[in-house]
Amino acid sequence: MVGDFSVGKTSLTQRFVNNVFSDKYLTTIGVKIDTAIVGDDKLIVWDVAGRDSLSPINASYLVGASGVILVADGSRSNTASGLLEIWQMVRKRIGSVPVVVALNKVDLDGWQIDDHSRAILDQQGWDVFATSAKDGKNVEAVFNKLVEKMNSKDS
Partner 1 sequence: MVEVNLQQQINAQLFDKLQLAYICVDSSMIVVDISDNLSSYGYNDISIGAKVEDCVDFMFGFDAQTQLDLPMIESPSGITIAVSLLPSDSSLMVLISNASNQAEQRQLLQQKANENELLVERQEKLLHQLEQASQQLEFKNQQLEEASRLQTSFLSGVSHEFRTPLTSIIGYTNLVEQSLKSSADKKGCDPEQKAGHLRAVQRSSRHLLSLVENLLDHGKLDSDEIVVRPKEIDLVELFQDVELLLKPLSDTKHVEFNINLDIGDSAVVLIDDSRLKQCLINILGNAVKFTDHGSVSLTAELLDEFLSIRVEDTGPGISADDLEKIRLPFWQAADTGKAGTGLGLTITERIIELLGGKLEVSSVLGEGTQVSFQIPAPMVVTHESSKAFNSPQPLSNMAVLLAEDDHDIADLMVMMMADRGVHLTHVENGALALEAMRSNTFDFVLMDIHMPIMTGHEVLVALQQENNSTPVVIMSASTVEAGRVKAENLGCYDYLIKPVDVDDVIEIMNQVAMNTDISHRP
Which of 18, 22, 33, 122 contacts partner 1 by CB under 8 A?
Answer: 33
Q: Shortest approach of partner 1 to residue 25 CB, angstroms?
A: 7
Residue span 110-139 as binding mask against partner 1, x where in contact by CB under 8 A, dash where not: x-----------------------------
- SS3 letters for the chain? CEEECCCCHHHHHHHHHHCCCCCCCCCCCCEEEEEEEECCEEEEEEEECCECCCCCCCHHHHCCCCCEEEEEECCCHHHHHHHHHHHHHHHHHHCCCCEEEEEECCCCCCCCCCHHHHHHHHHCCCEEEECCCCCCCCHHHHHHHHHHHHHHHHC
Position 44 contacts partner 1 (CB under 8 A): yes
Q: Shortest approach of partner 1 to residue 154 CB, angstroms?
A: 14
Q: Which is nearer to partner 1, 49 or 102 (CB)?
A: 49
User: What is the CA angle 56-60-66, rounded to 5?
Assistant: 110
| Contacting partner 1 within 48-77 (CB under 8 A) | 49-50, 52-54, 58, 60-61, 63-66, 76
Q: Which is nearer to partner 1, 45 or 129 (CB)?
A: 45
Q: Shortest approach of partner 1 to residue 108 CB, angstroms?
A: 12
Nearest to 101 by CA among 65, 138, 64: 138
Position 31 contacts partner 1 (CB under 8 A): yes
Residues that bind partner 1 (CB under 8 A): 5-6, 25-27, 29-33, 35, 44, 49-50, 52-54, 58, 60-61, 63-66, 76, 110
